[in-house]
Structure 1
Amino acid sequence: MSRNTAPPAERVDKQLLRTAFILVLGTFMATLDATIVSVGIDGLAHDFGASVAEIQWVTTAYLLAVVAAVPASGWLADRFGGRRTWLVAVGVFLLGSALCASARSVTSLIVFRVIQGLGGGLLPATGQALLARIAGPGRTGRVISVVAVVPLLSPVLGPLAGGSILAVAPWPWLFLVNLPVGAVAVLLARRHVPAVPPSTRRTAFDLRGALLLSPGLAVLVFGLTEVAHGRTLPATAGVTAGLAMLAGFTVHGLRTRRTPLVDPRLFARPPFGAAAVALLVLGASVFGTMFLLPLYFQTGRGMSAWGAGLLLAPQGLGAAAGSVLVNRTIDKVAPRTLVVTGIVLILAGTVPFTQLGHEVPDAVIALALAVRGVGMAMVGAPVMNIVYSRIEPEYLPRASGALNLLNTVGGSVGTAALAVVLQNRLSARGPDISGAFGDTFWWVLGFCLLAAAGATRLPRTRAAKS
């Protein structure tokens, strides 16, 4: 079978669905934890007597740890096997969660969030690669369409779940809630998830690449975060150093004779390059919007965290409906058709937010979010299916790591960039907070147009069956 030919779709049985459910628990914990703490930031600052500049590192440290961990996921799965790597990642995440709940100072909480983020960063990429390997090319599309909805739901459910927990329990339960979920996931995985053997191509760990790529991404995100806070010197140093390290990694990846941590040549292979652009910009759009809207609802409209979470819920419902639609059509419709349609829906759902300065009604916001949710579900799963179904099984862990890295980097860098734009527009608009948020959403619209440009290079028709 050639690399550009996909096999016919096969039936997704109960055993595969059970495996998908187990593995998606890890992804759910990791992605949910990126946002669930956001509603508790004020309370944490009060309890620890920390400033806003200090307490924001509770969120930023987790994000930077995730970005640092993702690139190593492919090598770890190749070296130790997908299931073993996934189980260890869950263990590290649960250890970090327990330590966070026991933190007695803001400094210790930040350190423990790093541990939690290192485990959380490995879970989505390792779980997706393991699931794709177990499913095989003929079933990857349908099963990925189910699990891919989780990262779309988590930014919506995070603030809602966090608000619900804090309504009845103190802040440590934001972290303790992970323990029973993780324990169940480990027990089920040991019993029901097949053990996929390590890769027969044993390669040395790309230490030089790791010292350039992961810290480079983390430093870049840190620099952009400092730009948003108006701190010029650390912002300039962070962005400059981050870009320099990433440029160094690219040169290293092209020149090394060993297997690099993430192979830059992979992005020149169709359809991987186009898929990479789509996922990068999708991450910026999804997480950027989930950063802007809760902030707008609470500062521009005076809503509570719970009320903001409820108004965001239609996006989650739309994503769930979209995943059902994709599951039924992913093996019948051209990948580009699904992705382009999804991006058009995201564009349509974003337009009303550019008009926030004109008092957009809640009903219009809810409808726009639902449309965006359907559109996002129509992008992520088809893009991942294109790559997973057309790449050799032994390359799945590294391809999955690269795709998840792009989505994570898109989310983190996109959010940091939008924070800079928002700060600039707030300064320019003065008391017109709604207008400043509306101006910022034009940038989100621009992200969507970039994603559309990348999607036009995806396969025009379905891959031929063998």
Structure 2
Amino acid sequence: MRERACASASTRIDPTVWKVAAVVSIGSFMSQMDSTLVNVSLSAIGHTLDASIATAQWIISGYLLAMALMLPLNGWLVDRIGAKRLYLFCFSTFTIASMLCGAAQTIGELIGARIFQGLVAGVLGPMAQMMIGRVAGKNLERVMGYTALPILLGPILGPVLAGLVLAHASWPWLFFVNVPVGAFGVAMAVLLLPRDAAGSQKRPFDFTGFALISPGLVALVYGLQDASRAVGLACLLAGVAFLAGFALYAARKGHTALIDVRMFATRTFSVAALAQFFANAIMYGRQLAVPLFLIAGCGLSATHAGGLLTATGVGMMCSFPLLGWLTERLGCRALAAGGALLAFLSTLVFLWLSVDSFSAGWAAVGLFFAGVGQGTISVPSISAAYSSIGRERLAVANTALNIAQRVGGPFATTLLSMVIASTLHGVSGAQPGRFLPTFVLLAGLHLLCFAAAMFLPVRVQRAKNA
């Protein structure tokens, strides 16, 4: 009885962990919901502000590029200012930026406000993952599994809320809805987040490193999004050159660099970062390829296609709460690799549908199991990465992981867009067979993700001070 009580006590999660997880989930939910709110409302905003879709698209692109610019600063700012103080500042500023977006009178003002919002989001975005990692310890998989649920609901509720808002109010309310959520989140952060430790790391700011990595990330992300044009290709090459220069510079600079690239010499960390890269690649690649296949290839309505696509979210919601239990029984490698393999098998369903007659039932089954598999890849690899380094380096390591994640998505969508554009050029009418090369490429990306996951450690072994 005593041994059983001790085991129960050792697996019980401290209430402080749940408080931190609940608070930071509010910020992640708001930012995720905000992204899909805007994505589905571009035409309405452009029409009201007398702007073309190409111009209105910068409401999204400017936000993403601003995020890429500020993302490398996250680790240094956490070490310099403290996690709670930085989170409160960023969450408050993000809410103010939402008010500025809603108050914009011209498309230029709106794009400017979104860029400002993106600058803040670049620092705020990685903080939920890092703050949970700091307090959860060996319960990381269980806690992140549960906190992922509200984050998943954000993109699903975004289009629904956008439709309700635009049916009863004008577009500024798409941004004003963030204000009460933000105010509530800030209040909860003040009350529930633990105080920052007294001894923060006073690293000097690495101006040279920032001048290399931040413009490099912006150029890389923009180049990947527009690689079909000469200017996009030039930006892509410039981004690669800047990032290569940063890697060489940071390797000599060591721990004083903005991001200590020597972490990648740790095999577990580098493999986990690669798994994160491909996990985001297959997720964003599927989000691009499958809706186009259903609508342009199979002739489904947007409503019918959207209904089928919800099966992916349902699958992810089914897998996330089980992550802690599954990790304890299967281990880190088996769970992540098994999820990648399941997602790969689900892609074979669409290979079959592209050469045979379309079946909505099989499409829903494939998307559901793609969601189940996708949901089991990222958290085990994040846990493996965190376990391979000391706790004092967690903020910088989290920044490096987030960069790998955010580059993976544009990388996949660029490759798939090139294939889709070449196979659909001059095609009219629904021709599902034209999407066969697209799903072959997507299946290949899944296999690369599976290969990366197979090199993760069998079980998580915590580093000293992790």
- The normalised TM-score by structure 1 is 0.90
| Equivalent-residue separation in structure 1 for 2:420 and 2:97 (angstroms) | 32
Conserved? CA contact 2:29–2:154, under 8 Å: yes
How far the C-alpha of 1:204 sits from its partner, in A, is 1.1
| Equivalent-residue separation in structure 2 for 1:465 and 1:119 (angstroms) | 32
Q: Does 1:268 align with 2:265?
A: yes
- Say which of 323, 342, 346 aligns to 2:343: 346
- In structure 1, list runs of 5 or more residues that go unmatched: 1-7
How far the C-alpha of 1:43 sits from its partner, in A, is 1.5
How far the C-alpha of 1:272 sits from its partner, in A, is 0.7
Listed as ranges, the matches of 1:113-192 within 5 Å are 113-135=114-136, 137-149=137-149, 154-192=154-192
The one-letter code sitting in structure 1 at the alignment partner of 2:169 is A
Compared with structure 1, are the counterparts of its residues 106 and 293 closer, same or farther at alpha carbon in structure 2 (3 Å cutoff)?
Answer: farther
Listed as ranges, the matches of 1:90-109 within 5 Å are 90-109=91-110
How far the C-alpha of 1:253 sits from its partner, in A, is 1.1
Compared with structure 1, are the counterparts of its residues 119 and 295 closer, same or farther at alpha carbon in structure 2 (3 Å cutoff)?
Answer: farther
Counterpart in the other structure of 1:312: 309
How far the C-alpha of 1:44 sits from its partner, in A, is 2.0
Compared with structure 1, are the counterparts of its residues 51 and 396 closer, same or farther at alpha carbon in structure 2 (3 Å cutoff)?
Answer: same
Counterpart in the other structure of 1:225: 225
Conserved? CA contact 2:69–2:119, under 8 Å: yes
The one-letter code sitting in structure 2 at the alignment partner of 1:139 is N
Compared with structure 1, are the counterparts of its residues 9 and 250 closer, same or farther at alpha carbon in structure 2 (3 Å cutoff)?
Answer: farther
| Equivalent-residue separation in structure 2 for 1:418 and 1:44 (angstroms) | 28
How far the C-alpha of 1:116 sits from its partner, in A, is 1.3
Listed as ranges, the matches of 1:9-88 within 5 Å are 10-88=11-89
Counterpart in the other structure of 2:333: 336
Instruction: Answer with 429-438 or 76-85: which moved more.
Output: 429-438
Instruction: Answer with 377-386 or 322-331: which moved more.
Output: 322-331
| Equivalent-residue separation in structure 1 for 2:28 and 2:12 (angstroms) | 24
The one-letter code sitting in structure 2 at the alignment partner of 1:70 is L
Conserved? CA contact 1:220–1:238, under 8 Å: yes
| Equivalent-residue separation in structure 2 for 1:333 and 1:375 (angstroms) | 14
The one-letter code sitting in structure 2 at the alignment partner of 1:291 is L
| Equivalent-residue separation in structure 2 for 1:87 and 1:305 (angstroms) | 39
- In structure 2, list runs of 5 or more residues that go unmatched: 1-8
Residue-pair matches, total: 455
Compared with structure 1, are the counterparts of its residues 358 and 413 closer, same or farther at alpha carbon in structure 2 (3 Å cutoff)?
Answer: same
How far the C-alpha of 1:430 sits from its partner, in A, is 5.3
Compared with structure 1, are the counterparts of its residues 370 and 201 closer, same or farther at alpha carbon in structure 2 (3 Å cutoff)?
Answer: same
Kindly provide the CA deviation profile for residues 382-406 of structure 1, in whole angstroms up to 9, marking residues without a partner as x.
Answer: 1111122342111111111111221
Conserved? CA contact 1:81–1:199, under 8 Å: no
How far the C-alpha of 1:413 sits from its partner, in A, is 3.0
| Equivalent-residue separation in structure 2 for 1:117 and 1:198 (angstroms) | 30
How far the C-alpha of 1:423 sits from its partner, in A, is 1.8
Kindly provide the CA deviation profile for residues 6-50 of structure 1, in whole angstroms up to 9, marking residues without a partner as x.
Answer: xx9631144422321111111122233233311112222222232
How far the C-alpha of 1:335 sits from its partner, in A, is 0.3
Compared with structure 1, are the counterparts of its residues 66 and 360 closer, same or farther at alpha carbon in structure 2 (3 Å cutoff)?
Answer: farther
Conserved? CA contact 2:276–2:378, under 8 Å: yes
Counterpart in the other structure of 1:215: 215
How far the C-alpha of 1:421 sits from its partner, in A, is 2.6
Q: Does 1:322 align with 2:319?
A: yes
How far the C-alpha of 1:345 sits from its partner, in A, is 1.2
| Equivalent-residue separation in structure 1 for 2:71 and 2:147 (angstroms) | 18
Q: Over the residues paired in the alignment, what is the CA RMSD in angstroms? A: 2.5
Kindly provide the CA deviation profile for residues 218-271 of structure 1, in whole angstroms up to 9, marking residues without a partner as x.
Answer: 1122122223xx4x3312221121111111111111122552222222222121
| Equivalent-residue separation in structure 1 for 2:305 and 2:163 (angstroms) | 10
Counterpart in the other structure of 1:450: 448
Secondary structure (helix, strand or coil) at the match of 2:202 reads coil
Percentage of matched positions with identical amino acids? 35
